[in-house]
Amino acid sequence: MGGTRPLFLWSKRRFDIRYENRAHRINEEIRFPRVRLVDEEGNMVGIVPIEDAQQKAYDANLDLVLVSPSPDNPVCKIMDYVKFTFEQDKRKREARRNQKIVKVKEVQLKLTTEKHDFDVRVRNAKRFLEAGDRVKVVIRFRGREMTHMEQGYDVMEEFAEAVADVGVIDRAASAEGRHMIMFLSPLKD
């Protein structure tokens, strides 16, 4: 039965279940003797004793939230904490929804790839780049092909020129063991 233990806090307006691992301290959990207080409209009240700050929050039927827990200058704000956390979660969800996930697609070549197969790989890479994905171009060297690494750089350069209208080289071609790898990124609008 792991997890967090609920704290049962009583406020003037409701009985609420809150959890130990929340981001801010509220109401009676604040232990500073004096705090810099910001009222519910966002106006700076000044440095006041914690009891006065809690009383103002209680009178306004809101929560006193420790916004900045700095020992030198603790800042508290009077607000509806449930509404505040809901708005924060909503912003996080919206940011996650608008986030573009860039995938890496792989295109494999050989030194001996024929012209038609090369064109098919170029078409696929262009399609991936137009969709906003990065492309990893890999050449596999087999057997004695390892002695002709310079040909691999030529093939990579030819491939990069073929997709230049939709993508740019993100990471130049480099040999890694029996493979040569190059990354392409889509053009920025």
Domain identity same for 80 and 160: no
**Location of structure tokens 């860039």:** 102
Domain identity same for 66 and 126: no
Indicate the number of domains in the chain: 2
Q: Which tokens belong to 69?
A: 């827990």
The model's pTM is: 0.51
Domain identity same for 10 and 90: yes
pLDDT beyond 60 at 73: yes
- Asked whether residue 1 is domain-assigned, the answer is no
CATH of the domain at 118: 3.30.110.10
pLDDT, one tens digit per residue, over 56-72 is 888 888 888 888 888 88
Please name the residues in contact with 74: beta carbons below 8 A apart, sequence gap of 6 or more.
Answer: 30, 32, 34, 35, 36, 66, 68
DSSP 48-92: EEHHHHHHHHHHTTSEEEEEE--SSS-EEEEE-HHHHHHHHHHHH
Domain identity same for 11 and 78: yes
| Residue where one domain finishes, among candidates 62, 97, 132 | 97
CATH of the domain at 54: 3.10.20.80
Could you tell me the residue range of the domain that residue 116 belongs to?
104-186
**Location of structure tokens 């103002």:** 56
pLDDT, one tens digit per residue, over 16-36 is 444 445 677 777 788 888 888
pLDDT, one tens digit per residue, over 114-166 is 999 999 999 999 999 998 889 999 998 888 888 888 888 889 999 999 999 99
Q: Which amino acid is present at 136?
A: K
Domain identity same for 91 and 19: yes
